[in-house]
Structure 1
């Protein structure tokens, strides 16, 4: 079970509908397919979605750090030496998405080698997750129409609404329109991607106080330390730390400092190994957890399902798992299907999905 080679393959698939939010917008999925090969002929796979406006990584940067630093360090390691691999990757600062993809591909290879699903290796709590859909910036009528389509077509009844525009009334009007159109049975929460100031966020949340919101996420910058603590102390809904609480130390700082009361786990930036640590810490602190989305493709979404379904805490809330629906195509041999508002773990070993060789050949950018 020793690693013999690690590949980083760039590919690009356009979005039919770009996702727009306070810190950026995405028109093309310029991602990296990571493959971990072993001496037993097993290949594990994972997806690395760079988000330069959040973590500073680019597609080219992910490929470079994997090929020049990470692969040479890890070749020869056993798939069971996860702590050693984490320590070796930790010698390099940053690059969370590149590290996470290698970690998940190694877990996939381990599951395939043992003939076991990754979700069972991680915890095996359930075999499915409810799906939350992210709604990007648009006019109220368009966002309502999208939400209604997602409910009617896929049975999705939880929506994360991107906010953070100025003036704040642009967003509060959207959330109010969604609540009025969708009714009380639908779960709504808002994500500001750090777009508002603390005072703007407080005013917006006051205007939406009657809309029964589930959460508020990253409404203002984390480095506005006093303003953020003040904001969180005045909210009556859980405040999710996302970009501000990636690793366990971040979670501890934000929660004990009064800057957050819930967290988002994204396996695309913490893999399975570090996500386990964040989960256990959240469980110990009594925090609510939402499985977040890095605007992943189908491979990345299934990695999220594999981890989220493994634990009671991470499967309790709907996970952000549907934005691959806006991509023009994908790489998997069998596309994911959301039914009755749920995504189910695929049967089989590892993560349970395979890459279509013809599609990869068509969309890869290094040939």
Structure 2
């Protein structure tokens, strides 16, 4: 059960249409496939999606961090020594996606070795999650049309609406159009990706007070310490910390400072080991959790639902699990399918997935 090799393979798959939001735009999934090999011939896999406009990582930096920094520190450790691995990775500052992919690939390899799913290793609460869908920037009519298509095709009834452009002339109009077009039974929440000021966010929330929002997420800059606390005091719905709460220490600070009242967990930035810590903090402090999306492909989505289904708290709300639908292709041998608004944990040991080697050869960019 010892780790013998760690691979970092860059690849690129275009999206059918770009996802636009306040902190950037993504039109190609330029991700890194991380594979952990063991002395028993088991291979664990995970995906690392770089988000340079949020965490400072690029595809090239993830490859370099995994290959040059992390692989030498984890080769020779046993799959069960996850805390040893976490401590060694923590010596390097930042690099959340690179660290998380190494961590999750180790968990996948452990599950395959023990013939047990990662969900069962983590907690085994349920075997599926409700799905929410992120709606990127567009005109109101186009966003309503997309939401209707997603609802009618996949049974999804929860939507996260990207805001952060003009709060009064456009963003609030989009959310109002979605509520009027989709009806009262649809769950809506907004995510500003730090695009508004605190005062703009307060005014926008006031204008949307009659729209029955589920949450508000990262509406103003993460470093606006006083503005965020003031905004939360004005907010009538749970305020989700996302980019401001990458590590367990960040989560503790944001919640205890009154700068947030809920937390987004993204396995792409905190793996399974650190995500456990965030979950336990949230559970202990009595705050809600949403399983977030780092514009993941199918492999990243599998990891998110594997973790989210493991616990009662993370399974209570719809997870952001559907944006892989916008990718033109993927690496899995058996594509994911959303049925009745739910995504099931993949059966089988570990994460329950296999990589299509022909597709990996086609899309990898290191040849």
Superposition TM-score, scaled by structure 2 size: 0.99
The alignment partner of 1:137 has SS state of coil
| 1:1-367 correspondence runs (5 A) | 1-367=1-367
State the distance in 2 between where 1:131 and 1:169 align. Answer: 29
* CA contact 1:169–1:204 (8 Å) conserved in 2: no
State the 4+ residue runs in structure 1 displaced beyond 4 angstroms. Answer: none
State the distance in 1 between where 2:307 and 2:228 align. Answer: 30
Q: Note the alpha carbon deviations across 1:299-346, whole angstroms, 9 max, x for none.
A: 000000000000000000000000000000000000000000000011
Shift of 1:166: 2.1
Aligned residues: 367
The alignment partner of 2:171 has SS state of helix
Unpaired segments ≥5 residues, structure 2: none
Shift of 1:169: 2.3
The alignment partner of 1:108 has SS state of helix
State the distance in 1 between where 2:304 and 2:145 align. Answer: 27
* CA contact 1:265–1:290 (8 Å) conserved in 2: yes
State the distance in 2 between where 1:116 and 1:222 align. Answer: 39
State the distance in 2 between where 1:335 and 1:160 align. Answer: 23
State the distance in 1 between where 2:131 and 2:217 align. Answer: 17
Q: Note the alpha carbon deviations across 1:97-153, whole angstroms, 9 max, x for none.
A: 000000000000000000000000000000000000000000000000000000000
Shift of 1:168: 3.2
Q: Once superposed, what is the RMSD of the aligned Cα atoms?
A: 0.5
The alignment partner of 2:223 has SS state of coil
State the distance in 2 between where 1:260 and 1:334 align. Answer: 38
Shift of 1:354: 0.6
The alignment partner of 2:346 has SS state of coil
* CA contact 2:12–2:29 (8 Å) conserved in 1: yes
Unpaired segments ≥5 residues, structure 1: none
Shift of 1:267: 0.2
State the distance in 2 between where 1:227 and 1:350 align. Answer: 43
